[in-house]
């Protein structure tokens, strides 16, 4: 079987980049906030973040969660933000490489060198990060497909989101390994027949190792 008949399909935020929960120190420094100002920790301390718990229970959407956090930080910094992208660009736009997961870059390079196709399937790549963010990330040039619901308006776990990605890749679902940190999106990929890895932000290396093994590749 030719190597390019398989693909590694990745969510972006949380999977390719470190989450905003993990980079509070960088955010505080960039926005001129005192260390320790930002206390919400999402999956790293869900018992102290009821808004995150509400999102995980599907009571609010992921976009709702980040809209609320954007409003809170805007109030703290007296900034006229109206969109998540305003927050993200101010927090990490100057040096996006600093928030990339090294485990992601290593796995992407391993898959690329092995001839596997590469795809991003995101609900909010440009919505959250701004349209110019990805132009600063040279490794994205290696991706065969980037599907962003900012433009398609089709959000995971809608099966049409996965089907659009598969169509662009020109591959059947079973030939693709999909990685996402949100269980609802993993369930959506399972439903269309993709192989999946529920990404664990607490152990990125293990999650990427699992994804590479599903592609018949050795981590590292």
Structural domains of the chain in order of their starting residue, each with its CATH number: 3-17+100-214 (3.40.50.1000), 24-96 (no CATH)
| pLDDT category of residue 4 using cuts at 50, 70 and 90 | confident
Distance CA 66, CA 47 (A): 18
The 10s digit of each residue's pLDDT in 84-136 is 888 988 998 667 888 999 999 999 999 999 999 999 999 989 888 877 888 88
CA angle 205, 206, 209 (to 5 degrees): 85
Please state the rounded mean pLDDT for residues 182-199. 97
- Contact between 60 and 54 under an 8 Å Cβ cutoff? The reply is yes
Distance CA 15, CA 103 (A): 9
Distance CA 151, CA 173 (A): 22
- Contact between 84 and 70 under an 8 Å Cβ cutoff? The reply is yes
The listed range with the strongest mean pLDDT (1-10, 52-61, 200-209) is 200-209
Distance CA 215, CA 152 (A): 28
pLDDT for the residue numbered 84: 84
| pLDDT category of residue 2 using cuts at 50, 70 and 90 | low
- Contact between 148 and 155 under an 8 Å Cβ cutoff? The reply is no
Percent of the chain at pLDDT above 90? Answer: 83
Task: State the pairing for strand pair 195-198/176-180.
Answer: parallel
The token duo for 179 is: 């990685």
pLDDT for the residue numbered 1: 47
- Rounded to two decimals, the pTM is 0.90
Distance CA 83, CA 127 (A): 8
Distance CA 24, CA 55 (A): 20
The 10s digit of each residue's pLDDT in 32-43 is 999 999 999 999
pLDDT for the residue numbered 127: 83
Which residues sit opposite 7 in a β-bridge?
117, 176
């Amino acid at each position: 079987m030719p190597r390019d008949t398989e693909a590694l399909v990745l969510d972006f935020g949380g999977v390719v980049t470190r989450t905003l929960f993990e980079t509070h120190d960088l955010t505080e420094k960039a926005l001129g906030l005192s260390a320790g100002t930002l206390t919400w920790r999402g999956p790293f301390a869900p018992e102290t973040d009821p808004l995150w718990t509400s999102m995980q229970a599907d009571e609010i959407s992921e976009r709702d969660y980040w809209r609320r956090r954007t409003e809170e930080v805007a109030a703290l910094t007296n900034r006229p933000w109206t969109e998540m992208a305003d927050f993200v660009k101010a927090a990490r736009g100057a040096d996006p490489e600093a928030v990339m997961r090294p485990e992601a870059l290593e796995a992407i390079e391993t898959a690329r060198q092995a001839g596997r196709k590469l795809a991003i399937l995101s609900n909010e790549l440009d919505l959250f990060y701004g349209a110019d963010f990805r132009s600063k990330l040279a490794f994205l040039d290696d991706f065969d497909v980037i599907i962003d619901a900012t433009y398609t308006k089709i959000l995971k776990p809608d099966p049409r989101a996965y089907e659009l990605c598969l169509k662009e890749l020109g591959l059947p679902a079973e030939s693709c390994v999909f990685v996402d940190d949100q269980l609802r999106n993993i369930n959506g990929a399972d439903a269309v027949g993709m192989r999946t890895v529920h990404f664990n932000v607490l152990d990125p290396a293990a999650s990427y190792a699992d994804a590479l093994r599903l592609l018949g590749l050795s981590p590292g």
